[in-house]
Amino acid sequence: MGGYTGEELTAIFLMQGFSGLSLFCVFLLMALGLAIIFGQMGVINMAHGEFLTLGAYITYLVSYVASDVWPFLLDYYFPVAIILAFVGTFILGYLVERFLIRFLYNRPLDTLLATWGLGLIMQQIFRSTFGPREKSVVMPDWLMGSYQATDMVDIPLNGLLVVGITIVLTIAVFFLLYRSRWGIKVRATTQNRMMANAAGINTERVDRLTFALGCGIAGVAGAAFTTIASTGPTTGSLYIVDTFLVVVFGGAASLLGTVASAFGIAQAQSILSFFLSGSMAKVITLMTVVGILMFRPQGLFASKVRR
């Protein structure tokens, strides 16, 4: 790295660190919902990306109302959008479990096809409703631009927001799963459905809420991603491969595994794309993940699930 001053290199190092951190948060945010659905319930939900898109569109609608109907609300709409995105996708997830998924437990291949079809249907509904073109979500002023730490170091504000949301959501999910009564029921159902049933847990209800919660989290992720990326009918499908990758690599049914794998993949990709190029970074990351999974098919953190 000849020809650069120490100050420049430090600044780049810091910003590169932040860009790795924000990539980690993006991965974790999109994987959290799936970690619950796929990890805890073993349901392969191919429509996960479309729930994310729905969250993004709900954010768009709220921003549209805020900017065109009540402009004085523009600065404050974002928290409202996040809550509505969660509620909307939660309800849809609940209905999908009630009327589709629950008939397909123990039939993983059928679930895969059914949810993939559901994803296609949702995509086309978005396309017919909102039009095929991408929508641009109007950002409040406080989310635009960057925080200038020094002359050289710029920290993007929207990146900070995504980091913030990720931290809050991860802690919330952790508490829900490992520190609440509902979490105990979920884990009991995951580990041994029959025994859980016998112990008086309404496992059907647990399933429904778990699935809905996973979808709701996808909705929040979608809302958060409107600040850094596009909002269109196929937005969700941009994330779905990476999402499964993170969850599978981390090991199903392990929240810690998901966090660790999101961190590993994000750092690898971020650093590699700095020293090589975007495409090469992707190739090398994928090959490494495949390589590790060949020797450790259960993922980084082995699960204690009895299947």
Partner 1 sequence: MGTTDKTGNQRALSGGTGWRRSLMTLAASVMLASGANAAPATSEVNTTGLAVTDDTVTVGILHSLTGTMAISETGSVQAEKLAIEQINAQGGVLGRQIKIIQEDGASDWPTFAEKSHKLLERDKVATVFGCWTSASRKAVLPVFEKDNGLLYYPTFYEGLEESHNVFYTGQEATQQILAGLNWAHDKLGAKTFYLVGSDYIWPRTSMKIARKHIENVLHGKVVGEEYYPLGSTQFGSLINKIKLKKPDLVFGAVVGGSNVAWFKQLNAAGLTFKKQPMLTISVTEDEVLGIGGENVEGLYSSMKYFQSLDLPGNKEFVDAFKKKYGEDAVIGDVTESAYLGPWLWKRAVEAAGSFDVDKVVAASPDMEWDNSPHGYLKVDKNHHLWMRTRIGQWKADGQADVVWESDVIKPNPFPEGYQ
Q: Which is nearer to partner 1, 11 or 206 (CB)?
A: 11
| 10 contacts partner 1 (rule: CB under 8 A) | no
Q: Does 239 bind partner 1 (CB under 8 A)?
A: yes
What are 108's two structure tokens? 């993983």
Q: Which of residues 24-83 bind partner 1 (CB under 8 A)?
A: 26
In whole angstroms, give the CA distance from residue 190 to residue 250.
17
| Shortest distance in whole angstroms from residue 148 CB to partner 1 | 7
* Residue closer to partner 1 (CB basis): 132 or 291: 132
CB of 210 vs partner 1, minimal distance in Å:
28
Minimum CB separation of residue 243 from partner 1 in Å reads 12
Going by C-alpha positions, the residue among 268, 16, 9 that lies closest to residue 156 is 16
Closest to partner 1 by CB, 4 vs 182, is 4
**CA dist., res. 283 & res. 269, Å (int):** 9
Q: Which residues, 6+ apart, have CB-to-CB distance to 162 below 8 Å?
A: 22, 25, 26, 29, 224, 225, 227, 228
Residue 57 beta carbon to partner 1: minimum distance, rounded to whole angstroms? 13
Q: Can you state the angle between helices 77-99 and 48-64, rounded to 10 degrees?
A: 140
Position 5 contacts partner 1 (CB under 8 A): no
Say whether residue 228 binds partner 1 (CB under 8 A): yes
Can you tell me which residue has the tokens 């993922």?
Answer: 299
Is 227 in a helix, a strand, or coil? Answer: coil
For the bound state, the minimum distance from the C-beta of residue 139 to partner 1, rounded and expressed in Å, comes to 8
Q: Which of 224, 207, 263, 239 is nearest to 48 (CA)?
A: 239
Burial (CB count within 10 angstroms: exposed 0-12, middle 13-18, buried 19+), residue 104: middle
Q: Which residue of 8, 68, 75, 110 would you call a contact of partner 1, by CB under 8 A? A: 8
Structure tokens at 196: 């859980």
Q: Is 238 in the site for partner 1 (CB under 8 A)?
A: yes
The residues, any chain, with a CB within 8 Å of residue 118's CB and separated by 6 or more, are: 46, 47, 50, 96, 100
* Contacts of 61 by beta carbon, 8 Å cutoff, 6+ apart: none
Nearer to partner 1 by Cβ, of 40 and 231: the residue is 231
Instruction: Write down the residue that tokens 């490494």 correspond to.
Output: 288
Which of residues 71, 108, 278, 291 is near partner 1 by CB under 8 A?
278
Closer to partner 1 by Cβ: residue 61 or 184: 61
Task: Rank residues 13 and 175 by Cβ distance to partner 1 and give the closer one.
Answer: 13
Nearer to partner 1, 234 or 288 (CB): 234
How many chain residues bind partner 1 (CB under 8 A)? 54
Residues 117 to 176: which contact partner 1 by CB under 8 A?
Answer: 124, 127, 131-139, 144-146, 148, 154, 156-159
Between CA 208 and CA 43 the distance in angstroms is 12
- Contact residues toward partner 1 (CB under 8 A) are 4, 8, 12, 15-16, 18-20, 22-23, 26, 124, 127, 131-139, 144-146, 148, 154, 156-159, 225, 227-235, 237-239, 269-271, 273-274, 277-279, 281-282
